[in-house]
Amino acid sequence: MSKLRVSAKAVAIPIERPTRISTRVLSERHYLLVDVESEHGNGIGYAYAGTSGGPILAQAVDELLAPMLEREGAEDLERTWQRLYQETLLSGRRGMVVRALSAVDTALWDLRAKACDVPLAVLLGGDVARPLPAYASGGYYRPGEGSPADTVTAEIEENRAEGFTDHKIKVGGLPIAEDAERVAAAFAAMGPDDRLALDANNAYRTPTEAIRAARAFERAADERGIWWFEEPLSPDDITGHAEVARVLETPVATGEIHQTRWEFARLIDGRAADLLQPDAGVIGGVTEWVKVAHLADSHGIQVAPHWHANLHAQLGAAISNTVAIEHFSLKKDIYNFERLLTEESRLEVRGGAVHLTARPGLGIEWDQAAVDRFAISRT
């Protein structure tokens, strides 16, 4: 049995410009970074904590997960996941402990793929030669940068200049009529075959309110239609999401905050989504993400993974029901994770598609100077 050494670090990367979504202000991003060392090399994993809480995730790794891994090893990744989940059942099951487990599990898969000298996508049965469709995510609320409609117009034009024909913007942070103006502005700036998804970030309190908003957005889109309507309600309101999905012609998407295969089974059984958005940094890591993607496929449901394009491109390349990879240009200063990576290991995106390389594992490596710069002291 190969001995493992597990280390965890929390980092906080500031958002340089005032930014918000429908439910919160974004001032900085906290990430958990995990390194797993063995005699065969080093594996890295990561997860998003939120706008705070990174040290809590690191502590969960140090106190709850690392001791078992260092004591028992991880030769069988499926059984290792189950042991770690069972070990933290009383303190975890959901929430930040599962996010910590996500980063550890991802690091173990990265270590395994590197030991086999193949990209993670290939280890999981996929192919890195085929470009993956991607969409330009953004459309956040940024006061002081012009009118909301003008800001959306400028961003869509920038997306198109970078080769994207699919886009996503935020809704729910303004009165419905004003958000509808932003939707109309986005469509006016898009090409005739472009698609637009809308992300409400749990903004609406009832299905009735969510349906009323969606109807206004559908009118703003005219005959072109909305690609999907994302997280209109609280993630816990599965029945409400099912009602919205039943009524609307626009597909309803959710899943980015849901964790483990059991929660996704409830979404599927409740017919609460037309499109699922599992996030490997939330759900429980690579092990659970793959299970959920195949579970969705068995029910004829596609997946559009949330965030973490560097990781999800590898996973999306290994399954057949991936719609597109969510991509944030680093210059938008929204999803700023790639500031932690060496420039040569950042994701290659051109022509609205992700292009994977033959680099083993996740294909990424830490820029140690950046990691040290943004590290949160835990002393």
Q: What is the pLDDT of residues 136-164, one digit of tens each?
A: 999 999 988 899 999 999 999 999 999 99
pLDDT at 40: 84
Instruction: Find residue 5's DSSP bridge partners.
Output: 37
On the 0-12 / 13-18 / 19+ scale of CB atoms within 10 A, 109 is buried
Domains and CATH numbers, the chain: 5-117+367-374 (3.30.390.10), 122-355 (3.20.20.120)
Catalytic residue among 306, 308, 312, 327: 306
Give the pLDDT mean for 312-322. 98
Per-residue HEC secondary structure of the chain comes to CCCCEEEEEEEEEEEEEEEECCCCEEEEEEEEEEEEEECCEEEEEEEEEECCCHHHHHHHHHHHHHHHHHHHCCCCHHHHHHHHHHHCCCCCCCCHHHHHHHHHHHHHHHHHHHHCCCEHHHHCCCCCCCCEEEEEECCCECCCCCCHHHHHHHHHHHHHHCCCCEEEEECCCCCHHHHHHHHHHHHHHCCCCCEEEEECCCCCCCHHHHHHHHHHHHHHHHHHCCCCEECCCCCCCHHHHHHHHHHCCCCEEECCCCCHHHHHHHHHHCCCCCEECCCHHHHCCHHHHHHHHHHHHHCCCEECCCCCHHHHHHHHCCCCCECCEEECCHHHCCCCHHHHECHHHCCEEECCEEECCCCCECCCCECHHHHHHHECCCC
Q: What is the pLDDT of residues 263-275, one digit of tens each?
A: 999 999 999 999 9
Instruction: Give percent above pLDDT 90 in the chain.
Output: 97
Instruction: Give percent above pLDDT 70 in the chain.
Output: 99
Q: What is the pLDDT of residues 182-191, one digit of tens each?
A: 999 999 999 9
Q: Is 306 considered catalytic here?
A: yes
Q: What is the pLDDT of residues 190-240, one digit of tens each?
A: 999 999 999 999 999 999 999 999 999 999 999 999 999 999 999 999 999
- Interatomic CA distance for residues 73 and 355, integer angstroms: 34
Q: What is the pLDDT of residues 115-137, one digit of tens each?
A: 999 999 999 999 999 999 999 99
Task: Report residue 379's pLDDT band, with 50, 70 and 90 as the boundaries.
Answer: low
- Interatomic CA distance for residues 193 and 184, integer angstroms: 15
Q: What is the pLDDT of residues 255-308, one digit of tens each?
A: 999 999 999 999 999 999 999 999 999 999 999 999 999 999 999 999 999 999
Does residue 370 register a pLDDT over 80? yes
pTM: 0.97
Does residue 363 register a pLDDT over 80? yes
pLDDT at 378: 76
Residue pair 111/42 in contact by the 8 Å Cβ criterion = yes
Mean pLDDT, rounded, of the chain: 97
pLDDT at 374: 98
